[in-house]
Amino acid sequence: MAKLIIGIVGENAAGKTTATEYLKKKFNAVTFRFSDMLYDVLKRMYIEPNRGNLQLISTTLRQNFGDDIMSKVIAQDAKNSTSDIIITEGVRRPSDVPYLKELSNFVLIYIKADERVRFSRLANRGEKPDDATKTWEEFAKESLQESEQQILAIAQTANFTVDNNGTIENTYKQLDKMVSKYL
């Protein structure tokens, strides 16, 4: 069986990690998150991995090592993996896609959810240290950050869209449909 490489794009708290965790559990997929390398750098430097610091280190790395530095790392990780299904979570910029598209059997999926749904999920999940205390105004302002700006443009090039506004079961059904279509 050929590898299926799934790139996941979506706005903050749209459900990218939920989709990834489901695919990992059901299909024994492995995942490579763009943000993992950023967490690694911040952790090594003993800097809090809040959204602002993650965005800053991402911008700094891209400005100094090329806009495609993170996609090169993720593409190499995917090539090196022996798993049948590989998920690259957190595609955020147009430069993230070309290296992944060079991989055989690459599918880009867009996880979408309404802004108010995403804000509610963010406040409840507590993934980052400042999530639970974030106000609506702060959430809306973050959507204007450089790292968030290109997501909708990338989403327009997706091979498959998952509407994550409904139940978790409905989201899972859509993900199953996507996997059966491409595997």
Q: What pLDDT is stored for residue 152 in this prediction?
A: 86
Give the confidence band of 1 by pLDDT, cuts at 50, 70, 90: low
pLDDT above 70: residue 166: yes
Of all residues in the chain, what percent carry a pLDDT higher than 70? 95
pLDDT tops 90 at residue 175: yes
Predicted local distance difference test score (pLDDT) of residue 126: 67
What's the CA gap between 148 and 120, in Å, rounded? 18
**Mean pLDDT over each residue of the chain, to the nearest integer:** 89
How much is the pLDDT for 39? Answer: 93
Other CB atoms within a 10 A radius of the CB of residue 89 amount to 23
Q: In what helix (H) or strand (E) does residue 166 lie, and over which residues does it extend? A: none
Rounded CA gap, 56 and 5, in Å?
A: 28
Number of Cβ within 10 Å of residue 20's Cβ equals 23
Domain coordinates of the chain in residue numbers?
4-182
| Tens-digit pLDDT profile for residues 31-69 | 998 889 999 999 999 999 988 899 899 999 999 999 889
Tell which CATH architecture fits domain 4-182. 3-Layer(aba) Sandwich (3.40)
CA 140 to chain centre: 19
Burial 41-64 (b: 16+ CB within 10 A, else e): bbeeeeeebebebbbbbbeebbee
pLDDT of 167 above 90 = yes
> What is the spatial distance between Cα 12 and Cα 54, in angstroms, rounded to a whole number?
13
